[in-house]
Amino acid sequence: MSGNVRLLSDTLAAAKEEGRSALIAYLPAGFPTVDGGIEAVKAAIEGGADVVEVGLPHSDPVLDGPVIQTADDIALRGGVRIADVMRTVREAHAATGAPILVMTYWNPIDRYGVERFTAELAEAGGAGCILPDLPVQESALWREHAEKHGLATVFVVAPSSKDERLAEITAAGSGFVYAASLMGVTGTRASVSSQAEDLVRRTRATTDTPVCVGLGVSNPAQAAEVARFADGVIVGSAFVKRMLDAPDGAAGVEAVRALAGELAKGVRGQV
């Protein structure tokens, strides 16, 4: 069974042909429940997201701020397992046809087994994995299995990355490059870092792979701002916060759908 790396590439290319950035949503698996998380992912796509990153909840999420940490804690207390992450990918992709990636730290994959994880993700219809803490120089085993199973390997670059390092990272990755707009953790912010545009420019100088920007985008105006220079706009904490603030699970799902619609207008410059 081959994964959906081609679907991911085609989706990003289709957005570019429309003259816009892709909207990429992030939601943790198992939050607020496994079933509720699946409905939220589906709602994000139905609302206007082109791609969804499904987070694999982790007890020590070094890149994630307090909003996503809170959601991860809820999911972990609920007993979420990697099997639930795979189920989330499978059911969301089957229902929507959209490319679904998993965003995870390396330790859970290492413990689960690289071959087992990649095979199961491909079987679930997954498009790939975002691996924020896996150094490129230690990624050969992962990339071998990901390529064998038709999965994208998305690495993260940061404003601190030197040009030589950017070239090394982009040469090893596939699908898209995740450009962190600032140094720090995820979370909504009043403005998007001015470093983001420079990072995209420097990253594009090393690769033809789409460059998508995350960290700090939370509203349509910010999405429109980033869409001017990036191939994709990644939004996570704002979706999670809408769900945390909702009075119940059903309201949370509808809040996700509504925000996706607002942000979809943003990436199209309709704000």
φ and ψ at residue 3, rounded to 5 degrees: -75, -175
Check 53, 72, 84, 231 and give the catalytic one: 53
Q: Known catalytic residue: 50?
A: no
Residues 219, 142: Cα–Cα separation, whole Å: 34
Q: Known catalytic residue: 64?
A: yes
Instruction: Count other Cβ atoms within 10 Å, centred on residue 251.
Output: 13
Assess contact for 186 and 67: CB atoms under 8 A.
yes
Q: What is the DSSP string of 50-69?
A: SEEEEE---SS-TT--HHHH
Token pair for 145: 């299995």
φ and ψ at residue 257, rounded to 5 degrees: -60, -45
Residues 182, 213: Cα–Cα separation, whole Å: 10
Check 39, 50, 64, 197 and give the catalytic one: 64
Active site residues: 53, 64
